Amino acid sequence: MPILGIETSCDETGLAVVERGRVLAERLASQADLHSLFGGVVPELASREHQRIIAPLFGALLNDAGLSVRDLNGVAVARGPGLMGSLLVGIGFAKGLCCATGLSLVGVNHLHAHLLAADMEQRIEWPALGLLVSGGHTHLYRMRSPTSFDLIGRTLDDAAGEAFDKAAKICNLPYPGGSHVDALSRGHAPDPKLFPRPYTDNDNLDFSFSGLKTAFGQLVAKRPHLRLARLALDDRDIGARLPGDVREELGMVLASLSLAVAETLTIKTARALDTFSDAKCLVLAGGVAANTMLRENMAALAASRGLALVAPSPRLCTDNAAMIGYAGEIFLASGLRHDLSLDAVPRGRIVPEDWVGGNCPA
C-alpha cells in the first residue's frame, strides 16, 4: 500500500507517494526565487509559503498518482531537524490528515532519510558507514540497520554546505549557492595550496568549516574583482557580467575551495573506515553529495577500500519527499509509528527515536 511522504524542514514543500521503494508521484514547490532576494532562507517567509501551498499541492499529487486518500496506507512526515515554523506546517498537515482518515502516522528524522534515500536506487549493505553533507549538517554515521544509526562525527560549527553557500554569497552568486559553485568549478584545475584542510590535524571524526569560510572571505577581499557588482540572477547573468579572464580565475578559486572541502571530508571518512572496519559499503548523501569533486573523491576512497559507494542521484540529494516516504515505509513495515503527540525538533536538538510499538532492529 502507498505511503505519503511530507517534507517541509526548510524552504522546499515536498510531497510524494512511495510504494515498495518506488515513487508513484512527486510534487515539489521550491522557494528558491523568494529567498534569493535575501541571499538565504527567511524562516517566517518559509513557513508562510509552506502553509499557502501544501493543501493544493496535495490535491495535485493525488491527481498525478491517480489515487484517493483512501488508497494510502500511512503518512510519513519530516519532524526535524529543521526550521521550527516550517516543520510545524508539515506535521500539522500530517496530523490533520491522519485524524480525518485514521491513517498511521510516523515521524522521520530528516537526516537519516537523506542517507536512506541512497537505498532507493542502489541497495545499502548493512552495516554501512554514512557521510551526510548538507547546508546545515556534516555528520558521520555508523549505520547498523535502516532503523539504527550511531552518530560518530559531526560539525562543531559550520557545515560544509554552509561554506559553499557563504562563498557564493561573498561573490554575489545566486542562492542557493552550492550548485553554482560546483558548476563554475567544473573544467578548472584547482590550486591544492590555496585553502587549508580545516580541523584535520587531530585524531577525531568531527568537522569544522568556519575557518575555511574565513579564508575564502579573506582571499576575495584581496581579489575584489572576483565579486560581482550586484547579485546575479542566474547562470546566464553570471556569464554576461564576468570577463573571460575573471571567469577563469573565479573557476580556479571555486575549484580549489571544492577540493579543500572534498579532501577534508575524505580524510575524516577514511579515518572512520579505519575505526569501523566492518562497514560493507560507504553511503554519501545530502545536498552537497551532488558536488562533482566530492563524489569523485568518495568514489576513489571507497574503491581503495574495496567498497561500493552508494550515493543517490542528484535529484534525491536535495531535500525531497520521496526520501521521507521511503523511510516511513520502512518504519511502518517494522511496526514503528507515532501517535498525535509527535512533536517537531528544531536544528540543534537530537531527534528522539520515540516510536510507538514494533521492534527496532539492532
| CATH code of the domain made up of 3-116+316-334 | 3.30.420.40
Q: Does 135 carry a binding-site annotation?
A: yes
Lowest mean pLDDT among 31-35, 59-63, 179-183: 31-35
pLDDT at 16 over 60: yes
φ, ψ of residue 19 to 5 degrees: the values are -140, 120
Percentage of residues of the chain with pLDDT beyond 70: 99
Q: Does 284 carry a binding-site annotation?
A: no
How many whole angstroms separate alpha carbon 193 and alpha carbon 321?
40
Q: Does 50 carry a binding-site annotation?
A: no
Spans of all domains in the chain: 3-116+316-334, 123-311
Each residue's pLDDT tens digit, 62-100: 999 999 999 999 999 999 999 999 999 999 999 999 999
| pLDDT in the model for residue 40 | 80
CATH class of 123-311: alpha beta
| pLDDT in the model for residue 1 | 83
Q: Does 35 carry a binding-site annotation?
A: no
Going by pLDDT thresholds of 50, 70 and 90, the confidence category of residue 135 is: confident
The reply to whether 123-311 shares the fold of 3-116+316-334 is yes
Q: Does 339 carry a binding-site annotation?
A: no
Q: Does 182 carry a binding-site annotation?
A: yes
The residue-averaged pLDDT of 112-124 equals: 97
Q: Does 132 carry a binding-site annotation?
A: yes
Going by pLDDT thresholds of 50, 70 and 90, the confidence category of residue 359 is: very low
